[in-house]
Structure 1
Amino acid sequence: MLHLREIAPADQSPAVADLLAADPGVTHLVVLPGAARQPVGDYITNVAVASAYGVWHEAAGSALQLVINLAAIVLAGLLTLAVQLCWWRHVARRAALVMPRQRADQRPSSVRASRRPRRDAG
């Protein structure tokens, strides 16, 4: 993997950043305006500029690593959701054992008659 770090004058850094962004092999492009003090200018850095130098095996390795990282993120998210689903099912089962559901005719009278009585129209 190749790294490119450059300091460009403030008036030229947009053109340099646009040139680098147009290359499909350039990833993680960062422009820090006014970060450079001597010489004064904007600090521009990026990672994996392999295609800019024609080092295609490096670009392929970077692309493969990106795919592996994305797959790992998706897998970790799915495993997290599966664990949460199992946990909440377990919690629901324990709650059902502690407080079994009651049928409407078995509820206490205070629950059945919790509606307000109707007011007389007159």
Structure 2
Amino acid sequence: MTAPIPSKIHYHKKARELELTYPDGESHRLPVEYLRVYSPSAEVRGHHPSQAVLQVGKKDVGLKNIEPVGRYAVKLAFDDGHDSGIYSWEYLFELIENREAYWADYLERLEKAGASREPLGIEIKQL
């Protein structure tokens, strides 16, 4: 089965959520942090599962731009500089369908790594 194509995509800047509305009227809101940590880019996923890079400190990430890619995807540009992920309609629908399981897995991987969703602060040294 092929994934449905959204009829509308809206970024809720204050909530940091991307809303996908489908022709049947169904809509889903995905947190930008979730989209960022599950970016389909090689920079995040690697070229093999063993090369995947755990994304940390992305809790407050937002979107700078949403760009259509043909008739099959969108390219999301994040405000942390990441802009190489192309999100196909199939992949976005997979993220919707598996949101709870994927998010739980991400939180577990963060915990095992001793990492955090919180952005890293800028260290200021006193002289």
Q: What TM-score does the superposition give when structure 2 sets the normalisation length?
A: 0.29
Q: What TM-score does the superposition give when structure 1 sets the normalisation length?
A: 0.30
Of Structure 1 and Structure 2, the greater helix share is in: 1
